[in-house]
Amino acid sequence: MASIYMDNHATTRVDPRVLEAMLPFFTTEFGNAASKSHAFGWRAEEAVTRARTQIARLLNADPKEVVFTSGATESNNLALVGAFEAAAGRGEHVITGATEHPAVLDVVARLEARGARVTILPVDRTGLIDPDALRRAITDRTVLVSLMFANNEVGTIHPVAAIGALCKERGVLFHTDAAQAAGKVPVDVQAMGIDLLSLSAHKVYGPKGAGALYVRRKNPRVILEPMLHGGGHERGLRPGTLNVPGIVGLAAALEIARAEMPLEARRLGALRDRLQEGILARVEDVQVNGHPTARLPHNLSLSFAYVEGEALLMALDDVAVSSGSACSSEKKEPSHVLRAMGLSDTQAQTSLRFGLGRFNTEQEVEHVIGRVAEAVARLREISPLYEMARRTTGAQVTRRIPTS
């Protein structure tokens, strides 16, 4: 069997339907959406306007609330830095979570260096924050709460609606990084009380380098200080010539995701469950990381005792998976997400993340189950720690799934 791709949290293959929608805007419809004097520009502008409507439909937002960016990282930066600077004089306190993506944590650290007072909320063993802890953390000087919709490593989904309601009650802006959630699970910025939301095309079978930031226009009207300057594009929030092919691809990807989400979530959830059950049936001493029910349907994070994660990755040479976040995988440190959830450095370093996707099949899942079982068995045969544990404890099977 050819190489199997199960790293869909890192990025996804562009759906052929998305590519088809994009192609004309590289060739025949190549106009600049800011060109108002001819049909090439008008058609490009029409495509961008149509894309805003498609994206807004997924989020239950107004099309005018969609600001195009290069991806979720830029959206996170604009949301956090823009909101903090716009609130100058009214407050300086920012709240986030310990398991956030570096695209949020690094920005928050930068804000702290610029005078922000930062609270980083802990999470429980399943990766959830405590809403009561959030309530206690909010002060009269809090200007922004930024908590991700769904975690990119373990798939845990935060109680977003409850967080949004609490922020509304206290008059604090709520930003969520929804890069992993948008198009995978229902997202409703109105019902969930979301003021700012980041998303990215390449997580939902769209092109790399395209994303968007939802910015609420009323109740409350969110004001952001732009980070870049050089034109009036995107309501003055993001200057530069619009990436029309990328924008069209982002919208097409999210439109497909919106239409197919219920069926796709069930299919991927079933594949994920089969992958989990198959591995647990054939491999002892495995821990499932993340929430048992409040998690993305396509995510599976496992820790394999007595097996180093990097060695297991190398042994699975025909399966593309990850030892954690692709954005920080070059760092050989244990996952900050797993450590925040209470795993030891050793446990964190034995973990793999499987990200199922639209193009994965049942046959591939069965193949991966067998490959993982074979690779773990082979690596444990040469592990002195495993042999020692078997001799001293006589234990055979530990398959722990965290409880809520």
Q: Enumerate residues 6+ apart whose C-beta is below 8 A from 1.
A: 318, 363, 364, 367
Q: Indicate the pairing of strand 299-304 with strand 286-289.
A: antiparallel
Catalytic residue among 191, 314, 327, 388: 327
What b/e string do you get for 91-123 counting C-beta neighbours within 10 Å, with b at 16 or more? bbbbbbbbbbbbbbbebbeebeeeebeebbbeb
Q: How far is residue 230 CA from its own chain's centroid?
A: 30
Is 167 one of the annotated active-site residues of the chain? Answer: no
Tell me the two tokens of residue 249: 């691809």
Measured between alpha carbons, how far is residue 179 from residues 210, 342, 345 in Å?
12, 24, 27
Tell me the two tokens of residue 38: 């001819």
Tell me the two tokens of residue 207: 């092109």
Query: To which residue do tokens 């498609």 refer?
Result: 54
Tell me the two tokens of residue 280: 């647990």
Alpha carbons 395 and 372: distance in angstroms, whole number: 21
Write out the H or E segment, with its range, that includes residue 120. strand 117-121
Tell me the catalytic residues: 327
